[in-house]
Structures are given as structure tokens and as C-alpha cells.
């Protein structure tokens, strides 16, 4: 698995990464009433768990748990829109989530 962080995203993540932050977690979270397979993709500061995969891009650490990894493509991109102040998690084939506020 590989992560690419765009220049604007790297700058924004570094500015938001507090001294207590260990890494940025990319996670697939089940949502909804359970009637279907609704997934939300999140990005948040977190500490590592035993089964996490560690990735690093532009010197920024990321964590992905095995469950979430099964829903993500092998190559991911984290981008940032300065106008909106939001992040986007995407791959070559899809946008997992846009307008992520941290």
C-alpha cells in the first residue's frame, strides 16, 4: 500500500498535527441502520493499534487498520483544497471522501 500527499495537503496536515499526535488514521467506518453496506471514510489523529499498517508520505505518518485496508485501493492520494479548507482521500479509480474537515 502506498500514500501520496500533495504539497498543499502536506503543509495543512503539518499545521494541524499537534504535539500529541502520533499519526493520521485513515479508516473505513460502517454507518447507517445496518440495512446495507454503508461505509464512511474518515481521517483523524490517532495512536497506533497492534494490527495497524504504518505508512509515511512527505514525512507524515499514517495508520490503516486491516479492516479499512480491505476497502482501499493500493495507491491513495491525500489532497487539500485551500479555498474550502478541506481534504480529499482518493485513488486513481475513485474518490473515497471529499470535504474532510480536521
| Residues sharing a CB contact under 8 Å with residue 43, sequence separation 6 or more, in sequence order | 24, 25, 26, 27, 78, 87, 89, 97, 100, 102
Q: Which fold has domain 2-100?
A: Hypothetical Protein Aq_1857; Chain: A; (2.60.300)
Q: Mean pLDDT score of the chain, rounded to an integer? A: 89
**Across residues 11-18, what is the average pLDDT?**
88
24-62, pLDDT tens digit by residue?
999 988 776 656 567 889 999 999 999 999 999 999 999
Amino acid at each position: 500500500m502506498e500514500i501520496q500527499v500533495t504539497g498543499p495537503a502536506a503543509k495543512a496536515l503539518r499545521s494541524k498535527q499537534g504535539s500529541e499526535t502520533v499519526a493520521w488514521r485513515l479508516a473505513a467506518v460502517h454507518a447507517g441502520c445496518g440495512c446495507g453496506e454503508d461505509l464512511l471514510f474518515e481521517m483523524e489523529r490517532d495512536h497506533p493499534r497492534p494490527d495497524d499498517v504504518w505508512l509515511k508520505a512527505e514525512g507524515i505518518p499514517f495508520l490503516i487498520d486491516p479492516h479499512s485496508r480491505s476497502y482501499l485501493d493500493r495507491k491513495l492520494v491525500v489532497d487539500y483544497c485551500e479555498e474550502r479548507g478541506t481534504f480529499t482521500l482518493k485513488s486513481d479509480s475513485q474518490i473515497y471522501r471529499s470535504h474532510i474537515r480536521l
